[in-house]
Amino acid sequence: MDEPIRVWYDPEADYLEVIFNNRVGTFRETGTDQVMAKIDLDGHVIGFSILKVGTLKGHPLDLSLAAT
């Protein structure tokens, strides 16, 4: 991966965003209400976001980010 990964956390909103590739895309739902996958125009996953990150303490989060 040549591009740096962008990680942003907003403690007030308890929101984490991780972007692998700085391309145009949209966030789409995943199988978990707390997680959104960012998908580019070609359907590739280029990042994800997690709401209520603090609620994950002691609870692993297992999901697939594959584009649907």
Q: What is the pLDDT of residues 6-64, one digit of tens each?
A: 999 999 999 999 999 989 999 999 988 899 999 999 999 999 999 999 888 877 888 78
For residue 10, tell me if it sits in a domain.
Answer: yes
Number of domains into which the chain is organized: 1
pTM of the model: 0.85
Q: Which of 61, 63, 11 is nearest to 37 (CA)?
A: 63
For residue 1, tell me if it sits in a domain.
Answer: no
For residue 44, tell me if it sits in a domain.
Answer: yes
pLDDT of res. 38: 96
For residue 40, tell me if it sits in a domain.
Answer: yes
Which domain range does residue 18 map to?
Answer: 6-56
For residue 64, tell me if it sits in a domain.
Answer: no
Rounded Cα gap, residues 9 and 41, in angstroms: 25
For residue 65, tell me if it sits in a domain.
Answer: no
For residue 12, tell me if it sits in a domain.
Answer: yes
